[in-house]
Amino acid sequence: MKFSEITEEFRKLGFKNFRTEGKPEVIQGAYDCAYNYFQSFEEIREQRQNSITLLGQPGTGKTHLLTAIANNLMFKKHVGVQYFPYVEGFNDLKDDFDKLEEKLARMKEADVLFIDDLFKPAKGVPRATDWQVEQTYAVINHRYLNYKPIMISSELPIDQMVEIDEALATRIYEMCKQYLVLIQGDKFQLNHRLEDMT
């Protein structure tokens, strides 16, 4: 994928083109959570609970809403947001060990770090090798200690993250608990990609 393609697709995702009418209440809740987070960002950015996480089923708008926050932070508030799609991002880190430290440093220092699809499962099994967990922990712990915001989407609820790595998962929880939504239920109602099937 070319970088320009990612950014063009990315920039189209906003609050205005996220629909809530006719959707289950939890989707409205996710929208409100994301919108309130953006509205409160400047006020909370240095606090312990300065981060957001949208968790749960595929196709429910997690990436859309966090990207809407990212676009608004970047273009309206001039806040730097680094996008790290978990699977592709780790492939990229693995492919070029020479640049590993430099790339990790950028993830640690960005104004806001957006990790999309943390531990994204393959065939139902979360992807979390020891190396992936170790690197993710180093980045998140640095940001935790320095009060730097994160935005995280994942199919896994917090309790399943705790099973993978308690130290990592509980830091994420502590940072995000003010802005945390878990989207679970009937996939035919929740998955936007299946919307026209029923």
Binding status of residue 29 toward ligand ATP by CB under 6 A: no
Give the residue with the Cβ less far from ligand ATP, 10 or 137. 10
Cα 47 to chain centroid, rounded: 19
Q: According to the binding rule CB under 6 A, does residue 62 interact with ligand ATP? A: yes
53 binds ligand ATP (CB under 6 A): no
Nearest to 186 by CA among 2, 15, 8, 27: 27
Beta bridge partners of 56: 183
Q: Does 30 bind ligand ATP (CB under 6 A)?
A: no
Q: Is the dihedral of CA 105, 108, 112, 117 positive or negative?
A: positive
Residue that has been written with the tokens 């990436």 in this structure: 63
DSSP 8-state symbol, 50: -
Q: Which of 155, 156, 168, 172 binds ligand ATP (CB under 6 A)?
A: 155
Does residue 50 belong to the site contacting Mg ion (CB under 5 A)?
no
CB of 87 to ligand ATP, least distance (A): 10
Is 63 a binding residue for Mg ion by CB under 5 A? The answer is yes
